[in-house]
Chain A
Amino acid sequence: MSELVAFIAGHRAEFIARLGEHVILVFASTAIAAAIGIPLGIVAARRPSIAKPIVALANLAQTIPSLALFGFLIPLPFVGGIGTRTALAALTVYAVLPILRGTITGIQGVAAPVIECAVAMGLTPRQILRQVEWPLALPSIVSGLRVAVVIGVGTATIASAIGAGGLGDYIFRGLAMVDSTVILAGAVPAALLALVCDAALALAGRIADPRRRSTPAAAVLAVILIGSTVASVWASGLSGRRDVIVGSKNFTEQIVLGELVAQVMERQGVNVERRFNLGGTAIAHQALISGGIDAYVEYSGTSLTAIFNRPPSTDSSAVYAEIRDRYAALGVTALPRLGFNNTFAMLVRAEDAERMGLKTIGDLNRFAGAKAGFGYEFLERPDGFTGLSAAYGLRLAGQPRTMDLNLIYRAVAAREIDVTAGDATSGQIESQHLVVLDDDRHYFPVYDAVPLVRASVLLQHPTIGEALRRLDGVIAAAEMRRLNYAVDGEKQDPFQVVRAFLDKLGRF
Chain B
Amino acid sequence: MASDIAVQFDGVSARRGGRRVLDDVSLSIRGGEIVALVGRSGSGKTTFLRLINRLMEPDAGEVIVGGRPAREWDPIELRRQTGYVIQDAGLFPHMTVASNIAIVPRLLSWADDRVQARVDELLAMVGLDPGTYRDRWPDQLSGGERQRVGLARALAADQKLLLMDEPFGALDPITKSELHGEFKRLQAALGRTVVLVTHDMAEAFMLADRIAVLSDGKLVACDTPAAVRASPDPRVAALVGPR
Contacts and interface: CB of A to CB of B under 8 A. Distances in A.
* A and B bind: yes
B88 A119 contact: no
B109 to A, nearest CB: 13
Contact of B92 (A114, A119, A122): A114
B76 interface: yes
Contacts of A127: 107
B53 A120 contact: yes
A116 B75 CA distance: 14
Contacts of A132: 92, 94
A467 B104 CA distance: 78
Contacts of B93: 111, 114, 136
A210 B91 CA distance: 15
Interface string A123-136: 11001000010011
Interface in A96-133: 111, 113-114, 116-124, 127, 132
A118 B76 contact: no
A211 interface: yes
B49 to A, nearest CB: 10
A121 B103 contact: yes
Please classify the interface of chain A as helix (H, G, I), strand (E, B), loop, or mixed, using the class held by over half of its residues: helix
Contacts of A124: 76
B103 A119 contact: no
Among B53, B55, B94, the one with the most A-chain Cβ atoms within 10 Å of its Cβ is B94
B107 A113 contact: no
A466 to B, nearest CB: 70
Contacts of B163: 120
B95 to A, nearest CB: 7
B222 interface: no
Contact of A113 (B53, B76, B88): B88
Contacts of B75: 122
Nearest to A209: B94
B80 interface: yes
B205 interface: no
Contacts of A135: 94
A259 to B, nearest CB: 57
Given A117-B86, A127-B107, A211-B137, A122 B79 contact: yes
Contacts of B95: 210
A132 B100 CA distance: 11
A136 B138 CA distance: 14
Contact of B90 (A113, A136, A210): A113
Q: How large is the interface on A (under 10, 10 to 19, 20 to 34, 35 or more residues)?
A: 10 to 19
Interface string A199-220: 0000000000011000000000
Nearest to A135: B94
Contact of A114 (B78, B90, B107, B153): B90
Nearest to A132: B92
A126 to B, nearest CB: 11
A211 B136 CA distance: 10
Contacts of A123: 76, 103, 107
Given A122-B77, A122-B80, A127-B107, A116 B137 contact: no
A122 B79 CA distance: 5
A486 to B, nearest CB: 63
Contacts of B137: 211
A114 to B, nearest CB: 6
B168 to A, nearest CB: 15
A113 B92 CA distance: 9
B84 interface: yes
Nearest to B76: A122
B90 A122 contact: no
A25 to B, nearest CB: 34
A113 B86 contact: yes
A119 B137 CA distance: 21
A116 B46 CA distance: 13
Contacts of B78: 122
A122 B84 CA distance: 10
Contact of B104 (A111, A122, A211): A122
A118 B104 CA distance: 10
Contacts of A122: 75-82, 104, 107
A211 B93 CA distance: 9
A83 B76 CA distance: 52
B104 A121 contact: yes
B99 to A, nearest CB: 9
Contacts of B86: 113, 116-117
B179 to A, nearest CB: 18
Contacts of B79: 119-122
Contacts of B94: 132, 135-136, 210-211
Contacts of B87: 113
A138 B163 CA distance: 31
B56 to A, nearest CB: 11
Contacts of A114: 90-93
A115 to B, nearest CB: 9
Given A136-B94, A210-B95, A121 B80 contact: yes
Nearest to A112: B90
A116 B90 contact: yes
Interface in B144-174: 153, 163
B97 to A, nearest CB: 13
A136 B139 CA distance: 14
Listed from nearest, the 3 A-B pairs whose CB atoms lie closest are A122-B79, A122-B80, A117-B90
Given A116-B86, A119-B79, A211-B94, 18 more contacts: A111-B93, A113-B87, A114-B91, A116-B55, A116-B90, A117-B84, A117-B92, A118-B92, A120-B55, A120-B82, A120-B163, A121-B79, A121-B103, A121-B104, A122-B79, A132-B94, A135-B94, A211-B137
Interface of B: 53, 55, 75-82, 84, 86-88, 90-95, 103-104, 107, 137, 153, 163
Interface of A: 111, 113-114, 116-124, 127, 132, 135-136, 210-211
